[in-house]
Amino acid sequence: MIQTDVKSTHLSVAGSIYADRTRLKGIIVAPKASTAATFEVRDGGASGEILFQMDIPSNSNPNSFDIIIPGEGILYRTDVYLTFSVGSVTGITAFYG
C-alpha cells in the first residue's frame, strides 16, 4: 500500500480544489438552511467530466455531514474542480492526496 499525505481545501463557491493529479478521499458539506443544492466534483475544470455528484435536500435545520470515499478514493487525472448545478452551500471541505 502506498502512503500519501492527505491535504484539504475549503470552498464556499465553485472553484479549483487541487490543480494536479490526485485522489479525492472525502468531503465535508455544510449546507445552507432551507436551500436545496446539487454539487459536482469534476476532472478537467468547470466543464470537465463529473466524477462525483451529490444532491443536498433543503432542510430548515441543516447539519454538516461527511462523505468518506471508499478504497483509494476517486482518481482525478488533471485537477479536482467543484461546480454547482443547483443552489449553493455554506462550505465544502475536500480531502485529497
- What is the tens place of the pLDDT at every residue in 13-52? 999 999 999 999 999 999 998 889 999 999 999 999 999 9
pLDDT recorded at residue 60: 87
* Model confidence, pTM: 0.90
Give the integer Cα–Cα distance in Å for 35 and 59.
7
The mean pLDDT of 70-77, rounded to a whole number, is 95
- By DSSP bridging, strand 15-18 and strand 22-31 are unpaired
Rounded CA separation 5/18 (Å): 14
Report d(CA 32, CA 44) in Å as an integer: 27
Q: What is the residue whose three cell numbers read 433543503? A: 58
pLDDT at position 3 over 80: no
What is the pLDDT, as a whole number, of residue 34?
84
- Tell me the domain boundaries of the chain: 7-96
Q: Which of 38, 23, 93 is nearest to 64 (CA)?
A: 93
Task: Give residue 62's pLDDT.
Answer: 85
CATH topology of domain 7-96: Jelly Rolls (2.60.120)
